[in-house]
Amino acid sequence: MIRALFCVGLGGAAGSVARYLLSTWTLGGQTILGFPAGTFVVNAAGSLLIGILLQTLTSSTAGWLLVTGFCGGFTTFSTFSADTVRLLRAGDYGPAAGYVVLSVGVCLAFTMLGMYLGSQAKG
Residue-wise pLDDT tens digits, 37-57: 998 999 999 999 999 999 999
* Contact (CB, 8 A) for 47 and 111: yes
21 pLDDT tier (thresholds 50, 70, 90): very high
**Whole-number CA gyration radius for the chain:** 15
User: What is the residue extent of each domain of the chain?
Assistant: 2-122
In this model, does residue 14 exceed pLDDT 80? yes
* Predicted pLDDT at 112: 97
Identify the three-state secondary structure at position 91: coil
